[in-house]
Amino acid sequence: MSDPKERAWLDWMNNNSEMARKYGSLLPQQQQLLLTVYREIHNSRTVHSLAAPPASGKTHVIKLLCKYFKSNSFSVCVVIPNNFLRAEYSDLPDIPVLTINQYLGTGTQFDYVLIDEAHNLKSSLELTPSLVKTVFVDSSSDIYAYLESRLLPIGQNYVAKQLSYVTSRDLLRLFRGHQPLREILRDVLRNSTTWQCFVYGRLGLFEIKFAPADYICRIQKARRAMLLFSASPLSGHEISFYCGIPENEIGQSRRMMQPTWKSHVMHFSVIDQLDPKGKFRLLSKILGKLECRTLVLFNNSFTCQAALKSLPKSYSKRIFHIASTERAKIYADYLARKNGKLLTASSAFWEGVTIPDLRLLIIPDPPYPRPTLLELREGRKVSLRLDVARRLVQGIGRIGRTSTSSGACVTFFSISEFVGSMPEKHVTALNSSKLVHELQRALNENLRRAP
Amino acid sequence: MEKPTYHANVFELKKSKPLDVYSYGARITPAVPKPVFVYRILGKIARNLTKQLATAAISDQGKIKILGIEIPQNLLLHSIDIEEFGTFNVELLQEGLREVGYADSPIEYTRLVNRIVDLSLAYLSDDFFKYSDVSPWIIERGEGYFDDAFRATVGIEDGRRYYRDLREFGGVPCLLLNREIELRSWKNLLNELKALAAWWSKVRGKPIDFYNPPDDFKKYVNFSISGKSADVIAYSSRSIRIKEVTWECRAKDPLLEGGKSPIQYHEEFGIKNLDENQPLVKWVFVAEDGKILERFHIPELLVVGHTFDDLSARILPSQISQVFDIVHPNCGDQQRKIFDVIKKIDSVLRGSLASVYPSILEFSVIPKEITQHTILPSKIELTFGNRDLSLEPPYGLNFYQKYGRTLKFAKPITGEVRTLVMGDSSHRKFVEQLQNEFEVRNDCKMNVELLQVDPHQIKPSQADLLITITNENSIIEYCKKTLQNKHGLIHQNVRPEHANEDSIPQIAMQLTLKLGGFPWFLKAPQSGYHLLTIYCYRNPTGLRSYFFMLMTPNGEVLIQSRAFDSDKILSFLRHVHQEAKKYERLIVITNFDDQAVYEYVAKDMEQDVAKFIVLRVSDDHLRMFKTFKPTPAPARRRRVVADVYPVEAYECAPQGVIAKASRDEFYVLTTISTKVRTYYRGCPTPLKVKVIQAKGEFDIDSVLRHILSLSLAAGTSGNGTRDPAPLYYLQKYAAYVIEYGEPENEQMLRRLFYV
């Protein structure tokens, strides 16, 4: 680094950082990220996709940038993919922190927009009802049989693909006869040629999505620069599709080296072939015996609800369930309680949200593959098996996010069937009868080892 | 992993017993004012009888034909109301009974079966209708796939129509049922024109008065509509070819015999409440005495057929994908819809025509598997200057991408090529890349001069090749008509939007062909016969022009004729004969159905050509499907990933497959499902190859494979073509002649100057 302006930029950041004051300087990854930001915002592009690996101190960098822009009289806001990240920015009182939906709704144009966990934009926008219309058809519906025969390939129990327009119109005709579905799809029915249709389906449940044909939304651009921070940065093509920004306006930074550290998380995999009731019984046993902050990740909301019902009523004070309403409040209550147990099927918790002091992660079933709309639209031959593995690794990654964290992760299925090998992680395969004892031992040991 | 089976949209006749046909004449009182009323009256009677007697009653050429049973005495007298014209009494008079069997009278039998299918859909079901009894098309009623907002914007709606006919497959008569999407005026042509005016106003940013529009709108309308075919929606009539839409005269103007207006004329037939001020459609037809006559029609009574190109000019880029899905549905969608309709026909006939179906006539509702009648796709080998290329099916798109940098064209251009390029400085890089590509592929030096001058200032002797980069039609026209046709200066135009790196290989190929070279040849064609292709172009008024071309077995063009109008057909055929007799073995390819011409050609060649086979290559409505067997979900422990298909269908058109329908009829599938962005869509139909005549023994398999491989012989783009190369070239030649006229320079006829 020979440019005096770059040096001055870093000096300002070091001088204004609490962390730098406490530890003497910013982390090398943070300095590298700040330099990248400096170079990016001084090129001609207006949108910048920046790589920032996990545990590289990205949140601190974003806060520092906010301070810098604010002190130079620029308007700035932080955009987060969901409300669960809001707590991390609670010490920025005079900077607007908006969820992606709030940002889409705001009419204000900021000088700088900083988007945290930008890879979550994809799922966040795909799940925004005003942008992507989604209808669920389960096996109790009278149109389910038609969907299964028409859309589910013979011999397969899962399907994810874009539908031809002819098929999507056939479905729309079908949905038109159902009042609730007709209401959801009002815009689509009115002007169907501007929408494209996708299906995620499995035996028992079909999710039909209608997304705008050209791009998901046209996001409000920043006056000076929009910075998208992510461990897996979005490509120009993805930003173009999801945010409606032309690719030639998007700058892309090089990937940074992943910081090396090893967490103290032990991994267990149950090798019994448990049926759903057996899994619920095992879950109930674990939640009853182990008192620590716990996250239970389900692969769908129906199973999550069923598991919740199967738990004894005496657990209710410790159990939190992220449902469709009051999500942020429930999450805040959960964080307020040291030994809370959170049950959810929300995709935000599968990838994205970092729960502080999480000690135990339970995954009863492997996740379903979930290729993005863009992947389906481009007809990429998505490997569903690899997609399951990717999501599973993401889910497992919710625990042990820092070098100081410790805990245990347990899957109620044989993990090696989905993920061939997990580098840096030793997985203990065991019977369900021994699980609770082993978990207790592991958590106690971790407690002793933890700094 | 997958075991393909092939099947087609043909449904075997499980029962095809001879049909007893009772024929009845009709005595109508009072006399009908116009002959067209006879058909309307008899049509009504036939429909009534069909329902009353549960058998097929058909109005056919002024008679009622009824299958299986005699009309009882009490149903021989009918009283038919024709709105506005009163009541007509009809007495049916039996004329005879005839047994019609498929073996003895295949054409008559086919006609009867077709009419039974028509009855089932168009008269015994409310979901379909026909524009005309003689038409092979049955139109599906109801809402299309375009939504209302879209229709209102583009003025075009999508319709589904079904073609029905009998075909023989493996010696068994089968019902062929094909589904096609047609694009047509939304409601009627007047409505479409109004939608077009609204769209025009929106695009131009200022409203226009539809009844007195500006000249540029009139010009645009005629650019979009003229030359198109229109159906009359108000009554049964043949379709017309539109010459022009004119605002000079209106529907209320006295343009017809006796000072009647078109509005008054139609009011006589009970068609009322038409817009009096609407513009009129001018159309032409050739009378029996050969005179070309001009007529007027009312847009409100017409619907015009459209193509995807017409539509794509009026839609947003984000809608193209969806609209493409409708216009070119994938094989799965096509198949599903065809099956739905065949099941409907079957159930309607079982319920309403019990005396005929299924006791005498019955067809399968399962598509015929044709695997045993097919020849599997084989590889096609091409030869270039310094290497050979072998293409396995599916032959794919843009195989030139496999070229490599060192590949030379099979017949390269040699020496110096003086080239003038008319473009601006922004095209310099493109021109340099083109020059480089052209020189790499050929053995020549391309001396390029980039100019910004009016083409009128160019002297033809200045150069061997002129490249223009423009969208100006007047410049292109001058270059083609004057510089190329009169002075022999080869011209290539590149649209500015295509003046980029992606277009360079294709343009280099076209330049090579225009200058007399060939990018590649077929390697060792299977039949080894020279190809004589006779092409007939039929213009919108019905007049015909004839062309022929001689090609070596490996795809090099030797001779191409000038255009001959149909009144000079004998002179044309003499030319054909003169050229044909130079060769001992010939495959004669034609694109038209004219028995007299066939016989003349065959008679001429009989004496001079040792072996020849005359083939008619045409489009048909048969579709072939290759059905995948989806792999069952793999065992969990095996590292196998289940297949994911890019569309929801498991069927595709099996490119390269040849199906033998009968002794002299074959189907060759030359094209692949169309590729848009990254997923394959569309469901192409094969070419029908019919053997008209042959002298000597032929291995028909090798002849058909030769025809198939010729679809990769046209060196224009590196893509396969639907038609075999000589037909494809002649189509382009005819289109060039129609647009720019014929070249005066004889040398030009030895080159593919029109590609």
Q: Tell me if A128 is assigned to some domain.
A: no
Q: What is the pLDDT of residues B298-341, one digit of tens each?
A: 999 999 988 888 888 888 888 888 888 888 888 888 888 898 89
B720 in Cβ contact with B391 (< 8 Å)? no
B-chain CB neighbours of A156 within 8 Å are: 630, 632-633, 642
A-chain CB neighbours of B147 within 8 Å are: 189-193
Q: Tell me if A41 is assigned to some domain.
A: yes
Contact yes or no for B678 and A165 at CB 8 A = no
Name which residue leads in pLDDT, B453 or A220.
Answer: A220
A224, A162: one domain: no
State the count of interchain CB pairs (< 8 A) between A and B: 101
Query: What is d(CA B603, CA B598) in angstroms, rounded to the nearest whole number?
Result: 8
A-chain CB neighbours of B326 within 8 Å are: 165-166, 169
Contact yes or no for A190 and B630 at CB 8 A = no
B209 in Cβ contact with B246 (< 8 Å)? no
ipTM reported for the complex, 2 dp: 0.73
* Cα angle B386-B388-B393, degrees, rounded to a multiple of 5: 155
Residue to test with chain A: of B2, B143, B145, B339, most A Cβ within 10 A? B145
A88, A157: one domain: no
pTM of the shown model: 0.78
A288, A413: one domain: yes
Taking the CA of residue B473 and the nearest CA in chain A, the distance in Å comes to 32
Contact yes or no for B147 and A192 at CB 8 A = yes
A226, A97: one domain: yes
Q: What is the pLDDT of residues B673-711, one digit of tens each?
A: 655 443 446 888 999 999 999 998 889 999 999 999 999
Taking the CA of residue A164 and the nearest CA in chain B, the distance in Å comes to 6
* B352 confidence band (pLDDT: 50, 70, 90): confident
The answer to whether A191 faces chain B, any CB pair under 8 Å, is yes
**Closest Cα in chain A to B331:** A164
A268, A233: one domain: no
Residue to test with chain B: of A156, A157, A165, most B Cβ within 10 A? A165
Contact yes or no for B318 and A383 at CB 8 A = no
Q: Tell me if A311 is assigned to some domain.
A: yes
Q: What is the token pair recorded at A93?
A: 């009182």
What local confidence, expressed as pLDDT, does residue B147 receive?
A: 87
Residue to test with chain A: of B1, B140, B147, most A Cβ within 10 A? B147
Residue to test with chain B: of A148, A161, A164, most B Cβ within 10 A? A164
**Closest Cα in chain B to A216:** B318
**Structural domain count, chain A:** 3
Domain end marker among A212, A239, A273: A212
Query: What is d(CA A49, CA A115) in angstroms, rounded to the nearest whole number?
Result: 9
**Closest Cα in chain B to A149:** B648
What local confidence, expressed as pLDDT, does residue A447 receive?
A: 59
Query: What is d(CA A185, CA B649) in angstroms, rounded to the nearest whole number?
Result: 25
Residue B666's contacts (CB-CB under 8 Å, 6 or more residues apart) are: B658, B659, B660, B688, B689, B690, B691, B700, B704
Q: What is the pLDDT of residues A307-365, one digit of tens each?
A: 989 988 888 778 888 776 777 788 888 888 888 898 888 877 887 677 888 899 999 99
Average pLDDT over residues B719-742: 91
Q: What is the pLDDT of residues A60-119, one digit of tens each?
A: 999 999 999 999 999 999 999 888 888 888 888 889 999 988 998 888 899 999 999 888
Average pLDDT over residues B90-118: 91
Taking the CA of residue A200 and the nearest CA in chain B, the distance in Å comes to 12
Q: What is the pLDDT of residues B78-87, one digit of tens each?
A: 998 876 678 8
Query: What is d(CA A23, CA B564) in angstroms, rounded to the nearest whole number?
Result: 93
Taking the CA of residue A250 and the nearest CA in chain B, the distance in Å comes to 21
Q: Tell me if A208 is assigned to some domain.
A: yes
A323, A436: one domain: yes
Contact yes or no for A194 and B319 at CB 8 A = yes
Q: What is the pLDDT of residues B606-625, one digit of tens each?
A: 888 899 999 999 999 999 98
By three-state DSSP, how is residue A132 classified?
coil
Average pLDDT over residues B590-609: 86
Contact yes or no for B145 and A166 at CB 8 A = yes
Q: What is the token pair recorded at B542?
A: 């019905």
Taking the CA of residue A3 and the nearest CA in chain B, the distance in Å comes to 36
A352, A380: one domain: yes
B-chain CB neighbours of A193 within 8 Å are: 146-147, 150, 315, 319, 322-323
Query: What is d(CA A95, CA B741) in angstroms, rounded to the nearest whole number?
Result: 72
The answer to whether A212 faces chain B, any CB pair under 8 Å, is yes
DSSP letters, B564-622, are EEGGGHHHHHHHHHHHHTT-SEEEEEE-S--HHHHHHHHHHHHHH-SEEEEEEEEE-S-
A110, A49: one domain: yes
Q: What is the token pair recorded at B262?
A: 């078109």
A244, A316: one domain: no
* B633 confidence band (pLDDT: 50, 70, 90): very low
Q: Tell me if A258 is assigned to some domain.
A: no
Beta bridge partners of B93: B25
Going by C-alpha positions, the residue among B696, B704, B751 that lies closest to residue B724 is B704
Give me chain B's average pLDDT, please: 87
Q: What is the token pair recorded at B33?
A: 């004012």
Among the partner-chain residues A156, A212, A379, the one whose CB lies closest to the CB of B679 is A379
| Strands B128-129 and B86-100, bridge-based pairing | unpaired
Contact yes or no for B319 and A384 at CB 8 A = no
What local confidence, expressed as pLDDT, does residue B647 receive?
A: 39
A271, B156, B160 from B192: Cα distances, Å: 67, 6, 18
A13, A42: one domain: yes
CATH number, residue A438? 3.40.50.300
Residue to test with chain B: of A148, A158, A162, A166, most B Cβ within 10 A? A166
Residue B311's contacts (CB-CB under 8 Å, 6 or more residues apart) are: B154, B156, B183, B323, B327
**Closest Cα in chain A to B158:** A166
Backbone angles phi, psi at B407, to 5 degrees: -70, 135
Query: What is d(CA A53, CA B384) in angstroms, rounded to the nearest whole number?
Result: 52
Q: What is the pLDDT of residues A281-299, one digit of tens each?
A: 999 999 988 888 999 999 8
CA R_g for chain A = 23
Contact yes or no for A165 and B321 at CB 8 A = yes
Q: Tell me if A127 is assigned to some domain.
A: no
The residues in A 215-234 lying below 8 A from B, measured between CB atoms, are none
Taking the CA of residue A390 and the nearest CA in chain B, the distance in Å comes to 14
A78, A357, A394, B657 from A55: Cα distances, Å: 19, 14, 15, 58
Boundaries of domain holding A383: 264-449
Backbone angles phi, psi at B384, to 5 degrees: -105, -175
What local confidence, expressed as pLDDT, does residue A386 receive?
A: 76
The answer to whether A161 faces chain B, any CB pair under 8 Å, is yes
Average pLDDT over residues A177-200: 91
The answer to whether A240 faces chain B, any CB pair under 8 Å, is no
**Closest Cα in chain B to A213:** B318
Contact yes or no for A153 and B645 at CB 8 A = yes
B-chain CB neighbours of A213 within 8 Å are: 318-319, 321-322
By three-state DSSP, how is residue A316 classified?
coil
A205, A220: one domain: no
* B558 confidence band (pLDDT: 50, 70, 90): very high
Beta bridge partners of B491: B466
Residue B459's contacts (CB-CB under 8 Å, 6 or more residues apart) are: none
Residue A429's contacts (CB-CB under 8 Å, 6 or more residues apart) are: A268, A269, A270, A271, A414, A416
Q: Tell me if A46 is assigned to some domain.
A: yes
Q: Which residue, chain included where needed, has tokens 């499907």?
A: B625
Amino acid in the structure at residue A417: E
A196 in Cβ contact with A210 (< 8 Å)? yes
Going by C-alpha positions, the residue among B308, B319, B270, B283 that lies closest to residue B189 is B283
Query: What is d(CA B645, CA B2) in angstroms, rounded to the nearest whole number?
Result: 13
A110, A226: one domain: yes
Q: Does B380 score more than 60 pLDDT?
A: yes
Q: Does B640 score more than 60 pLDDT?
A: no
**Closest Cα in chain B to A381:** B644
Q: Tell me if A332 is assigned to some domain.
A: yes
Among the partner-chain residues A153, A165, A420, the one whose CB lies closest to the CB of B326 is A165
The answer to whether A190 faces chain B, any CB pair under 8 Å, is yes
Give me chain A's average pLDDT, please: 85
Q: What is the pLDDT of residues B141-166, one digit of tens each?
A: 887 888 888 999 999 999 899 999 99
Q: Percentage of chain A surpassing pLDDT 70?
A: 92
Q: Does B407 score more than 80 pLDDT?
A: yes
Name which residue leads in pLDDT, B481 or A442.
Answer: B481
Among the partner-chain residues B316, B318, B326, the one whose CB lies closest to the CB of A166 is B326
**Closest Cα in chain B to A170:** B145
- Rounded to whole angstroms, the maximal C-alpha distance in chain A is 70
Among the partner-chain residues B145, B150, B633, the one whose CB lies closest to the CB of A155 is B633
Q: Percentage of chain B surpassing pLDDT 90?
A: 48
B-chain CB neighbours of A157 within 8 Å are: 633
